[in-house]
Structure 1
Amino acid sequence: MQLIAYIIIYPFLWLISILPFRLLYMFSDVLYFFLYKVFGYRKSTVKSNLRLVFPEKTEKEIIDITSKFYHHLCDMMLEAIKSMTISKSQIIKRYTFSNSDLILDLEKKNKSIMLMGAHYGSWEWLFVLQNHINHKGYAVYKRLKNKYFDRLIKRIRAKHNSTLITTKETYRVLSKAKRNGELTINGFAADQSPKAKKASYWSNFMGIKVPMYTGAEIIAKRMDMAVVFFSVKRIKRGYYQATFHTITEDSKSFEDFKITDAFFKLVEEQIYKAPQYYLWTHKRWKHRDKVPEKFL
């Protein structure tokens, strides 16, 4: 069944991917109408999240952010499909970096990098960074259930010298790279919500106490990596600029969870500036009523 689904769906994805950007975004506008206006995909979750973290905003403001968010979500979904056939020159033009020299400086210092980011702006196109630096690139992801689509995503990333690894593979793969003397840059979308029962740390995110994912910090410390945050700014439709912010070059010297705290503070700053570009469909605050007493 997985192969049949792939054979049926792949041609449609490919046809979408070869559309010129003007037509791609026209298609995105149509998708927005159905996703937001007709089906209301997770609309209640989005509005609930926004009301929770922005209690000072009026209902009109919440609706405005919600609408802008769905426009961006549809654009990003189609941009991800566009990755199948977009040329290297075109994606380099559309996804730029304001200070990639920061990464190159860390290379001169012989430092591998834990690159922490959020589900904000466009994280799907970050792999274009490999065209500007020399570090071996890894990105932690959740394997797709359909193995054929999973292979497709890996092939797309491989075109830009980026390798996808699952959470279970991460420590083994990066340990081997360190033993071999390889410099690596390792992308983590570290704002996701861990299971409440397994969380070792709870703290405030957008004013709400929730469990925090600390895996990126733990690995960075164990492997003596520099920790860098990347923020993303949407310049205009289909154009983005990422900026790097050094959290620390000496992760081992940080007290436990301080790197995680610094990361979430930076995530909050970009959300407050333009909340419509955060991934509000996820139930990031679903465990807020389960805070253990020791974290209250």
Structure 2
Amino acid sequence: MKQKLTASILYIFSLLPFWLLYRLSDALYILLFYITKYRKRVVFENLSNSFPEKSEQEIVTIAKKFYRFLPDLFVEAIKMRTIRPEEVIKRIELLNPEEVYRHFEAGKGVIGVTAHYGNWELGIHRLSLMTDHPRLVIYKPLNNKSFNTVYNDLRCRFGATMVPMKQILRHIVRLRNTPHISMFVADQTPTYQDSDYFMEFLHQDTLVYTGTERIARLTKNPVVYCHIGRKKKRGHYYCKFTTLVENPDDFAEHEITHLHNQFTEQMIRNQPEFWLWSHRRWKRKRRK
């Protein structure tokens, strides 16, 4: 019952036009930043530790821009429930899809990597519409099973297959000789059971996932970064593909992991307000 109610509410709100959803977003900004102060301590701590060279005023400026962008993400995610394919294509411009297509034409699968940056959720819809080859989206299941089901149904509207992290090997093996793309959101916080590898990321000792690298080595598939940035026009984005690794065997252990995390870091440094600063990214510390 709760799941159906949540789905019904999301559906009703998703029918609202974008201009009205953005008015709602404007109100949410005031609510989140000034009234409820949503995760404000986490955001400012993350920003201060990531940019020790910046002044207090510069940190405040980035934080305000982030809080201004965050509710846009909320309402755009809601809109994913009923948005038309042509509207998705209009709102996310693929700058160089040929970078992915060339790997497909060579008969290879693609290990896609992205981050909680720009509108990665709408990016799932755009990825689904760019090819008829299998599209796998690797995700970490939410604790709330009802919301997890509702959200994954929303993400799968245009043909993507949602695959829990612990089941990825089974799907990859099945598609070993088939062109496909498996998209990893690789900047999440792993548990100690999932990874024991730390590296420096945004000036901080950071526990990182190595799954992207492990799957790339197993399949011998190229690793392609999907950079989803925001255009100046509200609600409009671009996606640029960059092949970081052509042949995984050419790289030393953990080098692929460093490559895609360093790419993410540089992307964040260029425009920090579009990363998910409210996430408790550094809650895992080295065990003594």
- TM class, shorter-chain normalised? over 0.9
2:116 maps to which residue?
A: 119
Overall identity of the aligned pairs, in %: 34
1:161 maps to which residue?
A: 159
Q: Deviations over 1:140-198 (max 9, x none)?
A: 112344545434333333321111010111111111122xx322201111111223465
How is 1:68-107 mapped onto 2 (pairs within 5 angstroms)?
Answer: 68-107=65-104
How is 1:76-225 mapped onto 2 (pairs within 5 angstroms)?
Answer: 76-127=73-124, 128-178=126-176, 181-196=177-192, 199-225=195-221
Q: Answer whether contact 1:209 1:291 (CA < 8 A) is retained.
A: no
How is 1:43-82 mapped onto 2 (pairs within 5 angstroms)?
Answer: 43-82=40-79
Which of 219, 226, 229 aligns to 1:230? It is: 226
What is the distance in 1 between the residues matched to 2:101 and 2:43? 38
Gaps of 5+ in 2: none
Which of 12, 32, 38 aligns to 2:9? It is: 12
Q: Answer whether contact 1:140 1:186 (CA < 8 A) is retained.
A: yes
Q: Which moved more, 1:137-146 or 1:96-105?
A: 137-146
Distance apart, 1:223 and its partner CA = 1.1
Question: With structure 2 as the length reference, what TM-score do the two structures score?
Answer: 0.94
Distance apart, 1:16 and its partner CA = 1.5
What is the distance in 1 between the residues matched to 2:145 and 2:52? 42
Aligned length: 286
What is the distance in 2 between the residues matched to 1:198 and 1:144? 16
Secondary structure of 1:280's counterpart equals: coil
Which of 248, 257, 277 aligns to 1:280? It is: 277
Q: Answer whether contact 1:106 1:112 (CA < 8 A) is retained.
A: yes
Q: Is the alpha carbon distance of 1:35 and 1:174 closer, same or farther for their aligned partners in structure 2, counting shifts above 3 Å?
A: same
What is the distance in 2 between the residues matched to 1:60 and 1:204? 25
Gaps of 5+ in 1: none
What is the distance in 1 between the residues matched to 2:192 and 2:160? 31
What is the distance in 2 between the residues matched to 1:42 and 1:119? 17
**Is 1:256 aligned to residue 258 of structure 2?**
no
Question: With structure 1 as the length reference, what TM-score do the two structures score?
Answer: 0.91
Q: Answer whether contact 2:114 2:226 (CA < 8 A) is retained.
A: yes
Paired AA for residue 185 in structure 2: A
Paired AA for residue 258 in structure 1: E
